[in-house]
Structure 1
Amino acid sequence: MAGLMESVDQRTQLVGANRLELLLFRMEGPQIYGINVFKVKEVLQCPKLTVLPHSHPVVRGVAHLRVGTLPIMDLSMATGGPKVGDLSNAFVIITEYNLKTQGFLVGGVERIVNMNWGDIHPPPKGTGREHYLTAVTQVEGKLVEIIDVEKVLAEVSPMNETMSENVVSKQVAEDAKALHVLIVDDSKIARKQVTRCLEEIGVEVTALNDGLEAWNHLQELTESGVRVQDKYLMLISDIEMPEMDGYTLTTNVRNDSRISDFHIVLHTSLSGVFNKAMVEKVGADGFISKFNPDILGDVVVKRIEEFTKSR
């Protein structure tokens, strides 16, 4: 297992080429799941857990690790399944989401596979309103389900989703009424969070599910004679999405002379210096980590102020 996470730097070249690597794992049962390697800090056999009274039912305990004392969440329980039974053979996947580190307890870890985002698809229709998937794919003929970790975290450890009162001035709120923002995210919970924040500012919101859907939407508008930059104030896009990631979406926009100056902010639970470098490489106008309503609000407010001054 020690070699599983080696040479992560070599994998950075995959990002920006609409590619990723998935760490495959199992919970309880034969179903295979996947998580983006860039979210993973470490994989280890389940350490001794200290049970905390009055904690959330899916938190099996805390572990004292090199990175600190972390809550260990049973990912099977968190997604509506049975709890992971045999802890002596279980693993913990240490991840970083939304600038926080946490551990997910799983039944077993398989391997890492190199994938193209084009081979990763939205969940099939009919999986139900409360499903926990953001995407599905196939590896060697077997279905791999990609968990909506942001939904899990929002349920287990809800964060503040309300902006501070001083973020939006009366003038900005008035100007916002005539403006429209396009957002793109494959996570239902993330789309709801961002939409709620932007509606607090006062702008109209159109929310799409992935980069390819957004790219097709922008192309259809342009082909029909609509100037995207006039219809939308800005695009706020996730990075990790099935079909087409946010880096590729941004690159496509920048390479189309008709919409190349469209204002784009990448909004992601990925963090780190590498991602900021990638933002510069693909030409996005900004990069913010999920999910802080005040930071997101500030970015949109500044864009509104810039836009109104330029008219």
Structure 2
Amino acid sequence: MKSVQQEVDERSNLTGSNKFELLLFRLGGDENGEHSELFGINVFKIREIVAMPEITAVAGSMPHVLGVVNLRGQIIQVLDLPAIAGVKPKTGLNIMLVTEFARTTQAFAVESVEEIVRLDWNQVMSAERAAGSGMVTSIARLPEESGQPGRLAQVLDVETILRNMNPDADPEISRQTVGAQIRIKPGSVVLAADDSVVARALIEQGLEAMGLPFIMTKSGKEAWEQLNSIAAGAETEGLSVHDKVALVLTDLEMPEMDGFTLTRNIKRTARFSNLPVVIHSSLSGTTNEEHVKNVQADAYVAKFSAEELASTIRRLLRQ
């Protein structure tokens, strides 16, 4: 039997192999509670899972906000995730998922928790073209069980959900907030990667406010392929990749190839190793920051502060 420390170490080491763990849960089904689909969220975002406590309703709350709970002295907002997803729980809201995400703590009410599965990011496909993908960032293909065909789980885009719940909370992004524009070598760009529609929009606004030309990609794999294509094109012009790419900005959670693997690939490839890499992620905490150091990223910025991101990019480019 594994010790708690062994399980913690094993889970932490997943970031070195393009793997992650997905907590599977159910929200409900149609109006009769049938056809309940599987949903998932990265275990690194989960602070704890608790039986549904007593919730205090708050006057004037936004739709789908159940209220707040007092969890060991911390007041946490609880969101009705089945209602947000447009489904009905058959047995009620029984479980509360407490998440730490993008510098905030919030809780999601769900019907039931199934299990934790370990997956490779290449088992996860982008859901951007799928119906209803506004709140689903990707689809995970789960392993076969007992001869049954593999199941699918929808990986929720928590960034989009939280933004939709509180649209007035968008960070201010302007030339005033990011400071003086950043100058880079003419003809070069910032190569960015993020799978969230909302995050990409905010990053694009921030880079535009900084005066930085950029190429935006939707996964680590797409960014890696783009980087190699740019390098090949530079070589035909008698240039190096450093003449074409000033900096790489990457999320961590992405289908096909995560940000840890992308960063490791860059730093272990001779022609790319000196490219500055900034990891820009909603996954926070000292554990994730330690992983960032292990893959030799040049900086870590928690989402989303345009001012902090601009300051970090400016510092790295000066170096």
**TM-score (norm. length: structure 2):** 0.86
**2-structure distance, mates of 1:27, 1:63:** 20
What is aligned with 1:259? 272
Change (3 A) 1:159 1:166: closer
What is aligned with 2:87? 82
**TM-score (norm. length: structure 1):** 0.88
Deviations 1:25-76 (A, max 9, x none): 0111210011111100111111111111111101111111126111001122
For structure 1, the 5+ residue unaligned runs are none
Where in structure 2 are the equivalents of 1:277-296 lying within 5 Å? 277-296=290-309
What is aligned with 1:186? 195
Q: In the alignment, residue 156 of structure 2 is paired with which amino acid?
A: I
Q: Is 1:115 equivalent to 2:119 in the alignment?
A: yes
Change (3 A) 1:281 1:32: same
Partner residue of 1:204 out of 213, 226, 231: 213
What is aligned with 1:62? 68
**1-structure distance, mates of 2:255, 2:123:** 8
What is aligned with 1:298? 311
**1-structure distance, mates of 2:172, 2:38:** 32
Where in structure 2 are the equivalents of 1:22-33 lying within 5 Å? 22-29=22-29, 30-33=36-39
Note the C-alpha offset of 1:16.
Answer: 1.9
Note the C-alpha offset of 1:15.
Answer: 1.3
Change (3 A) 1:93 1:67: farther
Note the C-alpha offset of 1:177.
Answer: 9.2
Where in structure 2 are the equivalents of 1:1-311 lying within 5 Å? 7-29=7-29, 30-66=36-72, 68-79=74-85, 81-82=86-87, 84=89, 86-87=91-92, 90-123=94-127, 125-127=129-131, 131-139=134-142, 140=144, 141-157=150-166, 158-163=169-174, 165=176, 167-169=178-180, 172=181, 175=183, 178=186, 180-226=189-235, 227-304=240-317, 306=318
Q: Is the 8 A contact 1:177 1:202 kept in 2?
A: no
Name the SS of the counterpart of 1:296 in structure 2: helix
Q: Is the 8 A contact 2:22 2:118 kept in 1?
A: yes
**1-structure distance, mates of 2:209, 2:288:** 28
**1-structure distance, mates of 2:130, 2:285:** 36
Change (3 A) 1:67 1:8: farther
**1-structure distance, mates of 2:313, 2:274:** 17
**1-structure distance, mates of 2:278, 2:291:** 12
Change (3 A) 1:164 1:277: same
**1-structure distance, mates of 2:11, 2:263:** 20
Note the C-alpha offset of 1:86.
Answer: 4.6
RMSD over aligned Cα atoms: 2.2
**1-structure distance, mates of 2:244, 2:234:** 11
**2-structure distance, mates of 1:285, 1:98:** 20
Note the C-alpha offset of 1:254.
Answer: 1.3
Name the SS of the counterpart of 2:266 in structure 1: helix
Deviations 1:192-228 (A, max 9, x none): 1111011011111211000011111111222334432
| Moved segments of 4+, more than 6 Å | none
Deviations 1:81-108 (A, max 9, x none): 1355754x52110000011110011111
Change (3 A) 1:67 1:216: farther
Name the SS of the counterpart of 2:176 in structure 1: coil
Change (3 A) 1:164 1:55: farther
Q: Is the 8 A contact 1:19 1:114 kept in 2?
A: yes
How many residues were matched structurally? Answer: 296
Q: What is the identity percentage for the equivalent residue pairs of Structure 1 and Structure 2? A: 34
